[in-house]
Amino acid sequence: MLVAGNWKMNTDVPDGRALAASIAEGLSSASSDLGTVEFLVCPPYVHLPAVTDALADAPVTVGAQDMHAEDEGAYTGDVSAPMLTSIGCDAVILGHSERRKYYDETDADVNAKAQQARAHGLVPIVCVGETLEQRKAGEADTVVQGQVDGALSGVPIDSADELVVAYEPIWAIGTGESAEPEQAQEMHAVIRDDLTERYGTAVADDVPLLYGGSMKPHNAYGLLSQPDIDGGLIGSASLAAESFLGIAEKAGKVLEEARD
Ligand code: PGA
């Protein structure tokens, strides 16, 4: 179970450091069993050194929210995979719907970045998800399948810890209206089938499939207890340690019940 925070363009560096420190503090004093829950936070680029430092002793890995597909060059404003690995990043969000919408990122762009992430040992967190119009037209499956295929075509994945896929229905992001657990499960099953065809059962069964879109402490349990939902990619609720850890607690509960 992976609980991942996408801070987007929020907090300044001192506030980001303080948020990371309170997540670390919350985890060290957590009373419930979070032992097998994995944590990741993806702050803005300029926060990465401070956040990595604040989380040095905590069981939380750090990722970026995007990167360029080239190693270096004349790309003003961009950040590359070697830059991210040089400051201890483990993962990178790719193809978030906000990047697709505001920067016209295509599946081909996401694919080039995913290749580059793997070449540098970064775990790509590939985001996919349909619009409300596409869902209403009954196209959600084909849209998401197309995004998964487009992003991962030719990307070598040899083990489950080399990839994360996040299903984020666009209509649920930042709206306070999350998908119903069964609705999300249906889409996660489609993604799992696709990954199975591409990488085989041994890999696909254990690739973490995250749900994202208004996940909060009050709805996390229902979502996380679905068989193909292996965690969350959390936006606004990751901006306060209390709600981020509140979701983690639900993840811990699901894992504990699975063990019993
Ligand atoms: P949200 O964002 O939790 O604020 O809906 C999720 C995301 O965009 O990753």
pLDDT tens digits, one per residue of 56-86: 999 999 999 999 999 999 999 999 999 999 9
What contacts 103, CB < 8 A, 6 or more positions away?
A: none
User: Parallel, antiparallel, or unpaired for β 209-212 and 2-6?
Assistant: unpaired
Concerning whether 96 is annotated as a catalytic residue, the answer is yes
> Angle between the 13-28 and 241-259 helix axes, to the nearest 10 degrees?
30
Among 1, 51, 59, residue whose Cα is nearest residue 26 = 59
In angstroms, what is the span from residue 96 Cα to ligand 1's centroid? 10
Concerning whether 242 is annotated as a catalytic residue, the answer is no
Please work out whether the CB of residue 212 comes within 6 Å of at least one atom of ligand 1. Answer: yes
Bridge partners of residue 178, in order along the sequence: none
SS3 state at 79: coil
Q: 35 pLDDT band (50/70/90 cuts)? A: confident
Going along the chain from its start, the domains and CATH numbers come out as 2-259 (3.20.20.70)
What contacts 171, CB < 8 A, 6 or more positions away?
A: 131, 132, 135, 177, 213
Please work out whether the CB of residue 65 comes within 6 Å of at least one atom of ligand 1. Answer: no
Please work out whether the CB of residue 174 comes within 6 Å of at least one atom of ligand 1. Answer: yes
SS3 state at 196: helix
Place of tokens 């292996």: 230
pLDDT tens digits, one per residue of 173-194: 999 999 999 999 999 999 999 9
SS3 state at 208: coil
Taking the C-alpha atoms of residue 162 and residue 85, their distance in angstroms, rounded to an integer, is: 15
On the question of pLDDT at 34 being above 90, the answer is no
pTM score: 0.97
pLDDT tens digits, one per residue of 128-174: 999 999 999 999 999 999 999 999 999 999 999 999 999 999 999 99
